[in-house]
Amino acid sequence: MKILKKIGKIILAIIILIIIIPQIIATIEINREKRNIIRGYNDKYIIEEDGFQCSFSYEEYYYDSSFDEKYKNKENYELVNDKVDLLKEHVRESFNTWNKGEYFDVDEVITENDYFYLRDKTTEYSFEDSSSIHKNYYVRLYIYDIDNHTLYYIENVT
């Protein structure tokens, strides 16, 4: 009888670990990803919404001009340059998915002189009995606006 109780406790511990470990890994991944936001901002503005198996975050971080050089030299960030249209399309798609276009003026904010980091794991799929194509979005976009010394962070998961 004692052996069965010990086995039951071991099985329960394994089940708990199977449930908890993926959550810990997800939390570590989110925190690692958030390292792309440099500390030292003066203020921030955040909008977050969750739906069934999807989420949307829009964040603004306000800096003084001394952070311009830090973002220019930040690992993973690159000059927008000729990628303006690509980035604008990502932003429009993210905001249109959630009907949040009023929060961000794409054409005014994103310019060639800005810096960005894009993490896009968007995938397309279709069901065997359907001719339509569905998309899963996993987009994290960081745009540092040199003119306004503002970091815009957009995350769209659907």
- The domain limits of the chain are 1-34, 38-157
Is the model more confident about 129 or about 31?
Answer: 129
| Position 137, amino acid | Y
pLDDT for the residue numbered 5: 80
How sure is the predictor about 57, in pLDDT bands with cuts at 50, 70 and 90?
confident
Is the model more confident about 28 or about 2?
Answer: 2
Residue 114 has pLDDT above 70, yes or no: yes
Provide the 8-state DSSP code for 58.
Answer: E
pLDDT for the residue numbered 120: 76
| Highest-scoring range by mean pLDDT, 18-27, 30-39, 64-73, 132-141 | 64-73
H helical segments located in the chain = 2-34, 68-72, 84-98, 106-109
Mean pLDDT of 8-16: 82
Give the dihedral sign, CA 68/72/76/77. Answer: positive
How sure is the predictor about 79, in pLDDT bands with cuts at 50, 70 and 90?
very high
Q: Are strands 134-136 and 123-125 parallel, antiparallel or unpaired?
A: antiparallel
Distance of CA 56 to the CA centre of its chain: 8
Residue 30 has pLDDT above 60, yes or no: no
Mean pLDDT of 41-65: 84
Query: Strands of 78-79's sheet, edge to edge?
Result: 43-51, 54-62, 150-157, 138-145, 115-120, 78-79
The answer to whether the beta carbons of residues 106 and 129 sit under 8 Å apart is no
| Highest-scoring range by mean pLDDT, 1-10, 11-20, 34-43, 147-156 | 147-156
Least confident piece of the model among 99-103, 137-141, 146-150: 99-103
pLDDT for the residue numbered 148: 92
Mean pLDDT of 81-92: 85
pLDDT for the residue numbered 56: 79
